[in-house]
């Protein structure tokens, strides 16, 4: 797995699930709000419903992976939970540490390759500045909610 995908997965794993339109009745089986569950053994077509695979959303493009995810809040909470003084807003190393991702120079170079860095990888300070800015841009491009000064 790529380092960037690992970052997305860490953020998604910390995101609070969105409220859904389904309810869970006393029997424990989720159903659409206000709808009765189909009779046992009945096919969706027999009950006037549609099969789950035929959902209307399949014909449209997938939403961005971080659609609506409050990256700022998640990162602030991760820093608080870490007990460390981490400035994820300006430091790629601190952002990676907050996410629990290896922030070694080799991993940052790998992330730089994934994000198409064309500068000198031996200039770690320049690469780190670029990486942080690019990471924030990519998170925003993938639907993450960030403060205006970071996206």
* pTM (whole model) above 0.75: no
Structure tokens at 65: 């992976």
How many whole angstroms separate alpha carbon 149 and alpha carbon 138? Answer: 14
Say what the pLDDT of residue 67 is: 87
With a cut of 50, which residues of the chain have pLDDT below it?
19-59
CB atoms within 10 A of CB 21: 7
Say what the pLDDT of residue 66 is: 86
Say what the pLDDT of residue 17 is: 59
- Classify residue 89 by burial, with Cβ atoms within 10 Å: 0-12, 13-18, 19+: middle
Contacts of residue 25, defined as CB under 8 A and 6 or more positions apart, other chains included, come to 31, 37
Say what the pLDDT of residue 49 is: 43
CB atoms within 10 A of CB 99: 21
């Amino acid at each position: 797995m790529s380092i960037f995908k690992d970052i997305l997965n860490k953020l998604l794993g910390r995101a609070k699930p969105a409220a859904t339109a389904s309810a869970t009745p006393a029997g424990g089986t989720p159903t659409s709000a206000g709808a009765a569950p189909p009779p046992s053994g009945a096919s969706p077509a027999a009950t006037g419903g549609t099969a789950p695979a035929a959902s209307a959303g399949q014909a449209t493009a997938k939403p961005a992976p971080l659609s609506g995810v409050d990256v700022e809040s998640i990162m602030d909470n991760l820093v608080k939970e870490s007990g460390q003084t981490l400035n994820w807003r300006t430091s790629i190393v601190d952002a990676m540490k907050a996410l629990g991702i290896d922030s070694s120079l080799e991993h940052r170079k790998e992330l730089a390759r994934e994000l198409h860095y064309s500068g000198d990888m031996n200039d770690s300070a320049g690469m780190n500045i670029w990486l942080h800015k690019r990471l924030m841009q990519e998170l925003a491009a993938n639907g993450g909610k960030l403060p205006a000064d970071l996206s």
